[in-house]
Amino acid sequence: MAILGLPEEEYFSYGHRACAGCGAALAVRLITKAAGRNSIIVEPTGCIEVVSTPYPETAWKLPWVHGAFENAASIASGVTSALKHLGKEDVNVIVIAGDGATYDIGFGHLSGAFERGHNFTYICYDNEAYMNTGIQRSGATPYAASTTTTPSGKESIGKQEWKKDLVHILAAHGSRYVATASIGYQIDAYKKIKRAIETKGPTFVNLLATCPTGWRTDISKSIEIAKLAVDTGVFPLYEIVDGRHIVNRPKSIEELKPVEEYLRMQGRYRHLFRPERNEEAINFIQQRVKENLRSLLEHVEKGL
Amino acid sequence: MINFENIKLKVNDKEITIGAVLESNGSVSNLKTGAWRSKRPVTNLEKCTGCGVCWSLCPEGCIVKRDNGKFETNLDYCKGCGICANECPTNAIEMLMEEK
């Protein structure tokens, strides 16, 4: 049976210890629904590892392996090779990793596994910082976000660098399918994960997952914010299929909502509005978001 | 085949399995996380159209479909985040303060 096109079966049990309103927990529900029973999940260290397996209990109803912080892609490489040897190549191998393990710590292993071309899917639930250890900045943390290692203040805007463009880095490895998705558009996310799993070779989905604790947002607004991230163009939804871009949302510069709507809802950007409005920083973010979408749309136009 | 779940080691007087192997059985449900909640979702079943949006967006996965096609929350596990109430297209869900 399916509801809204999503299978009814749950492979990630309630009773897990994620915070109320956790976007990553919802991300895992969607991922496991797309994966189905015939799957092996590989998990590096991160929020989901911690909240899902308070030993001797586990939230998983699928085979699940936890390694170290950095080596999920390498474990997945080993698992795919073993399955190949056993003649069981119909089993889905899926890595579910946070942005810390993906963008920073496990990046070398991830790059290696993509270059070797193992048949697995890597899904990053991107909550834009090391949340479980206390909100330290990562390569995925966006510009101007205040974290415990990039605190905002008189001399600091928060994080000074733009978010790393990991999706294009992995596309450049020659992957046949990479995409961005948001838990705010859950059906789109489910379809993309499903497509990534069905595509041969290494594939990647960057799945934006709100973190009320780290983003300092209202726990009931996790989905609303994840939708706004897309509609303001801060986190546009696109796919790169066999090297060609498809932009799903937003479809044009004109339909962009102002980034302010998105920034205002989050405590990590509070310093951009109080004690006084930082017009310069807000304009900078707005301009760069527009440029980014323009560049994506140009890729589509040129058939790149 | 070796059943790793059945081989126990003693560490600090506690029994553990080799490599911390566990059966994938969703046993976290032993803890009823509903105790964390400060607000309780209450669904108005007359307004509920059974669309399933709340079910598809619940981080706990503790919203269940009833036989009549409508959705209801399993309060044993609901942490009270209120995403369902915020996203319900017909505003059928209301968050009420938990009282002792």
Q: Nearest residue of A to residue B53 by CA position?
A: A4
Q: Show the tokens assigned to A108.
A: 């070398």
The pLDDT assigned to B6 comes to 75
Say yes or no for a CB contact (<8 Å) between B31 and A13: no
Chain A residue at shortest CA distance from B16: A56
Per-domain boundaries in chain B: 27-97
Q: Which amino acid is at A23?
A: G
Q: How far apart (Å, rounded) are the C-alpha atoms in residues A3 and A156?
A: 47
Work out the angle at residue A229's Cα, subtended by the Cα atoms of residues A228 and A231, and round it to the nearest 5 degrees: 55
Domains of chain A, with CATH numbers?
Answer: 2-301 (3.40.50.970)
Closest-approach residue (CA) in chain A for B73: A14
Other beta carbons less than 10 A from residue A149's beta carbon = 14
Q: Tell me if chain A has a CB within 8 Å of the CB of B40.
A: no
Q: Which CATH architecture has domain B27-97?
A: 2-Layer Sandwich (3.30)
Among B59, B82, B86, beta carbon nearest to A26: B59
Interface of B with A in 79-98 (CB under 8 A): 79-83, 85-87, 95
Contact check, Cβ <8 Å, A60/B24: yes
Q: Give pLDDT tens digits along chain A (304 positions).
A: 799 999 999 999 999 999 999 999 999 999 999 999 999 999 999 999 999 999 889 999 999 999 999 999 999 999 999 999 999 999 999 999 999 999 999 999 999 999 999 999 999 999 999 999 999 999 999 999 999 999 999 999 999 999 999 999 999 999 999 999 999 999 999 999 999 999 999 999 999 999 999 999 999 999 999 999 999 999 999 999 999 999 999 999 999 999 999 999 999 999 999 999 999 999 999 999 999 999 999 999 999 9
- Average confidence (pLDDT) per 10 residues, chain B, 100 residues: 75 83 91 95 96 97 94 96 97 92
pLDDT of residue B1: 65
Task: Give the integer Cα–Cα distance in Å for A241 and A205.
Answer: 12
d(CA A287, CA A168): 20
Q: Which residue, B6, B29, B4, B30, is CA-closest to A63? A: B4
Give the C-alpha separation, A301 to A231, whole Å. 21
Count CB-CB contacts under 10 A for residue A254: 6
Q: What is the dihedral of CA A128, A133, A134, A135, to 10 degrees?
A: -10
Strand pairing report for A121-126 and A203-208: parallel
Please return the burial class of A41, using the count of CB atoms within 10 Å of its CB with bins 0-12, 13-18 and 19+.
Answer: buried
Rounded to whole angstroms, the Cα distance separating A136 from A176 reads 32
Q: What is the DSSP string of A243-262?
A: TEEEEEE--SSTTPPPHHHH
Burial class (CB within 10 angstroms; exposed 0-12, middle 13-18, buried 19+) of A75: buried
Q: CA B69 to CA B89: how far, in whole Å? A: 16
Of A25, A58, A221, the CB nearest to B59: A25
- Indicate yes or no: CB of A13 within 8 angstroms of CB of B29: yes
Task: Output the CA torsion A57→A136→A108→A87 (10° steps).
Answer: 20
Burial group, residue B22, by CB count within 10 angstroms (0-12, 13-18, 19+): middle
Number of Cα atoms under 13 Å in the Cβ half of residue A36: 13
Q: Does B75 touch chain A (CB under 8 A)?
A: no
CA distances from residue A147 to A16, A192, A276, A286, B65 in whole angstroms, order as listed: 25, 30, 20, 21, 40
For residues B66 and B52, what is the distance between their CA atoms, to the nearest angstrom? Answer: 11
**Residue A9 and residue A34 in contact, taking contact as beta carbons nearer than 8 Å:** no
Which residue from A239, A190, A178, A161 is spatially nearest to A5, judged by alpha carbons?
A190
At residue A252, the pLDDT reads 96
